[in-house]
Each structure stands twice: as structure tokens, then as C-alpha cells.
Amino acid sequence: MAAFVDRVTVHVSAGKGANGVSSVHREKFKPLGGPDGGDGGDGGDVVLQVDPSVHTLLDFHHRPHQKAGNGKQAAGDYRNGGRGADLVLGVPSGTVVSVDGQVVADLVGAGARLVLARGGKGGLGNAALANARRKAPGFALLGEPGEAVDAVLELKSIADVGLVGYPSAGKSSLVASMSAARPKIADYPFTTLVPQLGVIRSGDTTYTMADVPGLIPGASVGKGLGLEFLRHVERCAVLVHVVDMATMEPGRDPETDIEALEHELREYGGEDLDLVGRLRIAVLNKIDVPDGRELVDLVRASLEERGLQVFPISAATGEGVTELGYALAAAVREHRASLPDLPPAPITITPRAVDDGGFTVERDPRTDGWVVLGVRPERWVRQTDFSNDEAVGYLADRLNRLGVEEGLAKAGAVPGDAITVGDVTFDWEPTLPAGTLTIEETAGLGGRGTDTRLEDNARLSAEERLLAKKARRLPYEVTEGDGWIDADLLDDTDR
């Protein structure tokens, strides 16, 4: 099996954020030390980063499931949890990342990186949740789960010069002759099963050359190996025809070979890539064979009429290889000079719209109720421990301050409707309107800051409590001089 993989599907999971801690400080002579629960650590990210030492996606083929570290648990005494370890995955330069059929990144150049899955946020401890009104919260927030992403990684080799041609045309031999690469070479078709890269220096120019597995008619629609490796010629600045001048197959000659290859490149790349436009040089290989040398004079004129530079060579003996190297270097320099200077990456600031409340309310056909969509409300629901009544009340306060109840009322929701936020569905019991609804809309909802428990106010005033206290103490605490007297013996004036 060839140890080369250029297209894989990976399943990555970022780390989960750790839960916050609900804790009360305990110390001698300080029975009410206050909340001291720490915050949970954030989960680690999954990052793709170009590593120059990686040349294939083989590791992902064997291990498609990758997971980053979870956040570290917090503790009391204000001890926060540590962040989970990031998982950095090395990929070759030229890796294209797609998620749900959409290209999200094209990683080119050493160090290029992409955060493919972000870790979950750690939950806040009760120390962070304390405020002037909630001095000792008896709850903490839960950590969020990390993102889970299924991505397709596709490698498109980065090379200045791409060699295209029929199987056994001598492409691998040419790479071996011009560089230090040592690809497998044999005298049967499809010897090359994986793209081979070689680094070549001609004069003051250094460039890379890619040997693409042989193309045959029908490669653009999946015949042979061409469809799997045509992607590796997309990034080549210069494409070179390598023509077999000593083929013994019937029905083949240099001109028909070139026409067939141009057809496949045109079918694969279309007008957008214009692969045929990059074909500038025709290499007539194997002129060391007597019949091959004789064919050169017959086809040179017709190939030059196509606008191609023609270089008869012998990869086996090295004849003509030096001249070809300098011609390729000139073509590469010309291409590099035509490239525009890359501007610095702009810094984009996208402020939130003035009328953006951070959520939307829509009809939910599943429950015949309503669904609240938004990053913040969905995150708050994930962070809530629904086994703790105080935590549920805190969630209700947050949603109300965001304006969710007002939005539901304006959308037409009525008490008892099923409301879905994230993965949780509950029956709506409005209690705290935002104050901007009409009288009809707020009828029966109560006012902001009110408490129905205070409507039946039977508590005595301070003056009434003082009089009651005096009445209880009067029969026993009335004195005259140094002795006690019975209060019942006093008349109304003395009292």
C-alpha cells in the first residue's frame, strides 16, 4: 500500500469546559466567610498548523478521531481550574479544509494555522457570581461542551513546476535526474502512485518540481489514477508536457499524446483554473533511443506552432537536462514577478447593530410553541444546573434582562406556551415584563421588582412593636425608689 494519503475526513472534538465550584469559606472564628468557589478551566482547542516536516495526510487516515484536553476542575479558596491542553495537528502546506461542503481555510506556508474546533468555556464559581444583592450564591455555572467538527482535509501539492504526461513517459526519471529526489522508477505503467517533489537549483533560482502520476484519456472523469492526483497540478505555476518519444503502443504519437492531455486538463480545470494556459514547455524524452531522436525533427515544428518551447532530452543520460533547467527557472521567475505584492491583513471590526438584541423568537413547529435562538441564551442554558432552584432563578433573571420575556410577549406568546431555548423546553410563566409593553400586554403579569408575597403585608410597624414590648414588660418592671411595686396597684394617672 502506498504511504501517501491526500484526502481524508477527520472528526475532531475540542475540550469540555470544567464546572465552576460552589463553596463557602471556612475558617476558625469566621463562620460566615463568604463564597470562595473558583472558576472552571476552559477546554482546549483543536488547531491545524502547517508543518514543513509533514508531507502527507497519512496520520489522519489511521487516526481520524482527535480530541483536545478538557478544562481542569476548580476548587474552593478561590482556586480556578487550568485550561485544557490544545491539540495542534501538523498538516502539509497546501491543505484545503472544508466543513459541510464549504471551504473554510487554505493553509499555505509554514506556520499557517486554523482553529478548527474551539474549546468550551469553563463555568463561573459562586465567588464570581456574588454581588451586592446576591451575597452568597448557593450555585455555580456548568462548563460548556467543546465544539465537534467533521472536516475534509484535501492536499494540493505546492510546486512551481508540474510534470504531466502518459504513464512511463519518464517523469520520475526526469525528477531524479534534476534533483536529489529518488522516486521509484520501473518500465511498467503506473509505477508512480503518489506525487513526487524535487527541489532544483538552476543558476540563482531555486524551484520545486512535482511528478504527477500518469494521466490517460478519461482521467478527468475518474479513469485510471488521474482524478485522484489532478488536484496536485492546480497550484503549479508552469506545467510541462513530458512526451515519450520511444513508445511502442499502437495509435500513439507525440502530437496525439499532447492533445489528449490538454483535453483532460481542460475538462478538469475549466476556464477558472486555465491549466492549459500554463502549458509552456514540451519535453521530448528518451532521445537516447534511435527511433526517438528521429521523431524529434518530425514533431518539433508542429509543437512550436502551438506556442510550446521544445526541449529534446534524455533523462537517462542527462542530455539536454541542463538547458531545460534554465528554461524552467526563467519561466518560474517570470511567474513570480507577475504576482502582486500581498497587502497586510486588514483588521476588521464588526460592531453589533443598534437593534440587535442578541436573540430572535420564532415559531417552533415541533412543539407548537416558540423557540428562542441566540448565542447568549443558548449558552446560558448550557451553563445552568437545573437541579438547583437558585441556578434556575438566576437563568430566569438573565433571560429577562436580555429581553426574552418581552420578545415572547410581542411575538404573541401566552402563559403556558412551550418555550425552547437550546436543548431545554419549559412552560412559559411570565412574571417580569420589561416595562415597554402595552397595558393590555402587561395585564396580569405584575410589575418589575414586585413580589406577590408582599401583597398580604401583616407585618407590624416599629412603633407598634415598641408598644407591644412595653405592654409585656409593664407588670414586672415598674419600680418606685429601690423597691418593686405591683403594677395593678397603680391608678391610671401613675401609669
Q: Give the residue numbers of the binding site for Mg(2+).
A: 172, 192
Q: Are 49 and 112 in contact (CB under 8 A)?
A: yes
Amino acid at 447: G
Angle made by CA atoms 359, 365, 369, in degrees to the nearest 5:
65
- List the binding residues: 165-172, 190-194, 211-214, 285-288, 314-316
* Residues in the annotated binding site for GTP: 165-172, 190-194, 211-214, 285-288, 314-316
CA distances from 322 to 115, 239, 245, 314, 490 (A): 44, 18, 19, 11, 134
3-state SS string for the chain: CCCCCCEEEEEEECCCCCCCCCCECCECCECCCCECCCCCCCCCCEEEEECCCCCCCHHHHHCCEEECCCCCCCECCCECCCCCCCEEEEECCCEEEEECCEEEEEECCCCCEEEEECCCCCCCCHHHHCCCCCCCCCCCCCCCCCCEEEEEEEECCCCCEEEECCCCCCHHHHHHHHCCCCCCCCCCCCCCCCCEEEEEEECCEEEEEEECCCCCCCHHHCCCCHHHHHHHHCCCCEEEEEEECCCCCCCCCHHHHHHHHHHHHHHHHHHHHCCHHHEEEEEEECCCCHHHHHHHHHHHHHHHHCCCEEEECECCCCECHHHHHHHHHHHHHHHHHHCCCCCCCCCCCCCCCCCCCCCEEEEECCCCEEEEECHHHHHHHHCCCCCCHHHHHHHHHHHHHHCHHHHHHHHCCCCCCEEEECCEEEECCCCCCCCCCCHHHHCCCCCCCCCHHHCCCCCCCHHHHHHHHHHHHHHHHCEECCEECCHHHCCCCCC
Buried b (16+ CB within 10 A) or exposed e, 26-35: eeeeeeeeeb
